[in-house]
Amino acid sequence: MEEPRNIHDLEFIVRDYECDLQGVVNNANYQHYLEHARHEFLISRGISFIELHHEGIDLIVTRVEIDYKYPLRSRDRFIVKTFIRRDGNVRINFYQDIYRIPDNKLIVKAVVTGVSTRNGKPVSPEPLIEKIQEYL
């Protein structure tokens, strides 16, 4: 099956300190992977959190839904696939899936909702949208 061109891929390897007593990656660490993949995706589109922050604009996560399908273990390689859709006037949804490499086992399915704010108030995410519109 052909994959849409607008999916961003980022590869990782599990580091031992990310695993917990049960020998698998601790649930909270998947949020770290997803966050890092979102930031790398935005950077790849020329969007820097820090520069936006200095202009008074922040992209805030307001909701996450994560389905844990199968655990990752020490030294597993995996890929985070990130895909975005605008949702109404102020929200952007990041659809993020994690697949183990090389067998493509589905590990996590997540939807992360973000809102643009200017000086703390929700605003239209236009400055972001312009830069990432071919992805929407």
Question: Which residues in this chain contact a second copy in the complex, by CB under 8 A?
Answer: 15-17, 19-23, 26-29, 31-32, 35-36, 39, 43, 49-50, 53, 58, 60-68, 74-75
Rounded Cα gap, residues 136 and 24, in angstroms: 34
For the bound state, the minimum distance from the C-beta of residue 114 to a second copy, rounded and expressed in Å, comes to: 10
Q: Which of 20, 58, 87, 97 is catalytic?
A: 20
- Residue number, 4 or 23, with CB nearest to a second copy: 23
For the bound state, the minimum distance from the C-beta of residue 2 to a second copy, rounded and expressed in Å, comes to: 30
- Residue number, 42 or 84, with CB nearest to a second copy: 42
Q: Cα 83–64–38 angle (5° rounding)?
A: 40
Instruction: Outline where 3-116 has alpha helix (H).
Output: 27-44, 49-54
- Residue number, 71 or 84, with CB nearest to a second copy: 71
Give backbone dihedrals phi and psi of 80, rounded to 5 degrees, phi first. -105, 120
Q: Which residues contact 129 (CB under 8 A, 6 or more apart)?
A: 86, 92, 136
Q: Are 70 and 27 in contact (CB under 8 A)?
A: no
* 76 a catalytic residue: no
For the bound state, the minimum distance from the C-beta of residue 130 to a second copy, rounded and expressed in Å, comes to: 22
Which residues are identified as catalytic? Answer: 20
